[in-house]
Structures are given as structure tokens and as C-alpha cells.
Amino acid sequence: MSTAIVIGSGLGGIATALRLRHKGYKVTVFEQNDYAGGKLHAIKKDGYRFDLGPSLFTLPHLVDQLHSLFPDHNSSFSYIKKDIGCHYFWEDGTIFKAHSDHADFVTHASDTFTESKAVINNYLNTSKSRYNLTKSLFLEKSLHKWSTYFSFDTIKAIVNAPLLGLFNTLNEENKVFRNPKLTQLFNRYATYNGSSPYQTPGIMSMIPHLEMGIGTFYPQNGMHRISQSLYELAIEVGVEFRFRESVTKINYNHNKAIGITTPLGVYDGDIIVSNMDIYPTYKKLLKDYPEPVKTLEQERSSSALIFYWGGIENEYSELDLHNILFSEDYPAEFDYIFNKKTLFNDPTVYINITSKETKADAPAGCENWFVMINAPGDYGQNWEEMITEARKNIITKINKCLNTDISKHISTEHILDPRGIEKNTSSYRAHYMVPQVMINLLRF
Ligand SMILES: Cc1cc2nc3c(=O)[nH]c(=O)nc-3n(C[C@H](O)[C@H](O)[C@H](O)COP(=O)(O)OP(=O)(O)OC[C@H]3O[C@@H](n4cnc5c(N)ncnc54)[C@H](O)[C@@H]3O)c2cc1C
């Protein structure tokens, strides 16, 4: 039987392991941590459960596909579709509930922001066509294969390039709205891959289609079930996981990867897949191999600072699973994160509350708040000082938008900052990394 080695048991690593197993390989996954899931992990503290990283679930059919590779095994994974994607708040009291249904979104957005229905409808339709034109290239095909660039889908996308918004920034595209709040709402989608709307191209306007076209979903019992259910399936179908075994080297011979080295041994494989960030893959595991310099020098995405708060009483009916409290000065916020590499004093605050859906995630009468702001990666800033300041600013923002004093409710706290994200998963200065890196010297 041919053997495959996967470095890293993040979602990309587990998915690759399942696909290789399905093709008949004997698969071993090497993971530096003592758990599977990478960024998609969870913690329990003082009776609260918190998903640590991802909180928004889109494109669930991609997870279904993995489960259905092995129809003889019962999947313990299920999810619901949310009617409302997100609740948005501004300091002047404006509240907007973003419906997943296209027509409902248009109606409510038009009423809330006194914006023309036709303009909003047209924007969502453009988002849909951009998504459909490019999804094959960005989401379904490998950018590391020449065949991708000569495929029919790619040629179709190139022919339609003028329609894709490639030559404007996302913010410029979103100026189509007269109401700056709606521009801000759609600018937010740049952050879905850790970009700034003032720098990222307008093609990112395809992302809203994921929410307002296809929908947002919630896995029963939280995001962690995605990685856990796939891990359980992988174990059932015979994938071997070697935890606490960090890979230190990829061994190769004439441009072909032939195995790996860890502190515990040397392992040969017919296929080697790196699921870790491309930067440390080359810098640490392939030290003597020629680097793809341009790729490694690309600007890193933003990272995140997250407070996990428990103790908050269950009295905020205006909040839902996903909530955004917008900064009053969005351009300044991104300038601070991307150019000044620090935090802005009026941050946009994202609050995710899974106990709204899964009551068992918090003690009776309480809620588990995952409170996140976008942040620069770790460039050696004084994080202790920045975290203390950010905590104050976040509380001020929540108090202003929700007309409350949240600080007196917080009895449990856990904090994850960009240093922790980097340390836990080896993703260099970022939290959104190139997923499932297939390094170019490896045959597949
Ligand atoms: C705070 C936060 C919020 C996010 N929110 C969302 C969201 O709402 N929706 C969404 O879709 N995405 C979100 N993301 C992005 C999403 O989490 C990632 O895209 C995804 O989890 C990446 O999976 P991965 O398998 O590619 O990488 P990772 O999960 O980083 O997995 C890499 C694995 O490799 C292991 N590893 C690294 N080096 C070695 C080594 N030398 N030897 C062995 N193992 C090694 C790591 O320990 C890790 O387990 C968020 C990310 C973060 C951090």
C-alpha cells in the first residue's frame, strides 16, 4: 500500500488525510499539539465552552462531501441554517439584522439605510456572478497546478475580468451605496481573509454571496464539531495520528519529497503534504531548498485579539449568534492595523455567542461571549500594554452600543492574542493562512 504523510492536523490536514485514505493510501498525520483541529479548537473554563478560533460556518457542503466519502460510517455531524446572518450595531443606535434570504436582506437594508432596493439588489447579484465566475479558481482548484491556468473556468474568468472589480479596491466598489453605513457593512467582508477593504481588490465583493446567497450555518454543538467529527471519522477509517510529534524537516531527493524527520524518527512516504503555514514550511522544514521568494514575501493577513468572557447574564436579547459593533472610523482602524501595526482606540468589535444556540455552552442564565477585534500580527509590539488598552476600549464600545455596563458582568476570562495564535499553530504573523499548502516540489 502506498503511504502518505500529512504534516499538521488542522482542518486542511484532516480533510487531506481523509481524501488520501479514500484513494487507498496508508495515511499518517503528524501534529505538534496534543489535539486535532489546529485553529478549529475549543476550551472549557468555569462551566463555559468556547470555540477558540473560527465561528462563522459557510459552505457546509464541503464538510458533507468529506463525510460522504465513507458512506458506511455514520456521520455525527449536523447543522442548521441561520435566518439572520449577523446583527450590526452603530453607536448612533442604528441596528441592522442581516437576513440570509436575498429578498429579505434587500427589503430590510433598504428600509434601515434608506438606500435604493435596486442598488442593493444589483450589488448582491454582482456578488453572486463574481462568486460563480471565480469559485472554481479560488476554492476548487489548486493554484499550484498549471492545468488550473489553462482550464475552461479560468479562461472564462479572464474573459470576464472587467466585470470582476479587479482594478478597484473593495471600498471603491462599495461606494456604490449612498449611505456610508452600508459601505462599511460590505467593506467588512475584506476581513474574512484578513485584508483591509482599502487595499484589497473589489473581487472580494463576492464574499457576501456566501452569506446572503448560500447562507450561514451553525453546527450542532458548535464549530468544534467540524474538526472533531472529521477527526473521529479519520480514526474510524484507519488514519493514524501522531500527536506531540513536531516535524522538523522534509526530506527530499532531486525535487521529490520522500519523507520527514521528527525528534522521534525518520519516516518515508510516497506523498508528503504540508498542512502548516507555507512560511515555516520553507523556512524551517526545507531550509536548503530554494524558496518561492515572492510568495513568502507577500504581506501577511491581519491577526486577532480575542477575549473569551463568561459570567454575562442572559439579558441581551438584541444580540444573536454573530454580532458586529462598528467603529466610528473604519479607515483609521485599518490604518492602525495594517500600517501602524497597532490597535485603534475605537475598534470594530465582533461578539459570537454560541450559547444562544447551544444552551449547554454556558451555565443556566448566562452566556459565553467570544469577543474579537482585528489586530496586526506579532511584530514584537508591547502586547501586555495593548491588550489592557484594547480591553478598556472594547468595553467602552459595547457599553455605548448596548447601553449597558458590561464590565461588572465578566467573571471568567481567557485571552488569545496574535502571539498565542502563532505559537499554537505556527502560522507566521497571521491567523488566516494559505490553507492546505501543497508545496511545489511535492508530486501528488
Ligand atoms: C481567531 C480566528 C477566527 C477565525 N474565524 C474564521 C471563521 O469565522 N470562519 C472561517 O471559515 N475561518 C475562520 N478562521 C480561519 C480558519 O480558522 C482557518 O482558515 C483554518 O482553521 C485553517 O486550517 P488549516 O488546517 O489550514 O490550518 P491550521 O488550523 O493552522 O492547522 C495547521 C496545523 O499544523 C500544525 N503544525 C504546524 N507546524 C507543525 C509541525 N512542524 N509539525 C507538526 N504539526 C505542525 C499546527 O499545530 C496545526 O494543528 C479564523 C481563524 C482564527 C485564528
Q: What pLDDT, in 10s, does the model give residues 385-401?
A: 999 999 999 999 999 99
Residue 431 has pLDDT above 80, yes or no: no
Q: How many angstroms separate the alpha carbon of residue 401 from the centre of ligand 1?
A: 31
Question: Is the CB–ligand 1 distance for residue 28 below 6 Å?
Answer: no
Residue 64 identity: D
Q: How many angstroms separate the alpha carbon of residue 218 from the centre of ligand 1?
A: 19
Tell me the per-residue pLDDT of 73-121, one tens digit each, with 9 for 90 and over: 987 899 999 999 999 999 999 999 999 999 999 999 999 999 999 999 9
Which pTM value belongs to this model? 0.94
Question: Is the CB–ligand 1 distance for residue 227 below 6 Å?
Answer: no
Q: How many angstroms separate the alpha carbon of residue 116 from the centre of ligand 1?
A: 40
How far is C-alpha 230 from the chain's CA centre? 18
Rounded distance between C-alpha atoms, residue 6 and residue 260, angstroms: 10
Residue 439 has pLDDT above 60, yes or no: no
Q: How many angstroms separate the alpha carbon of residue 436 from the centre of ligand 1?
A: 9
Find cell 466585470 and name the residue: 163
Q: How many angstroms separate the alpha carbon of residue 9 from the centre of ligand 1?
A: 9
Residue nearest to atom 49 of ligand 1 (CA): 38
How much is the CA Rg of the chain, to the nearest whole Å?
Answer: 22
Ligand 1 atom, smallest distance to 285 CA:
41
Rounded distance between C-alpha atoms, residue 73 and residue 70, angstroms: 6
Residues 379, 419: contact at Cβ < 8 Å?
A: no
pLDDT average, residue stretch 255-280: 96
Residue 142 has pLDDT above 90, yes or no: no
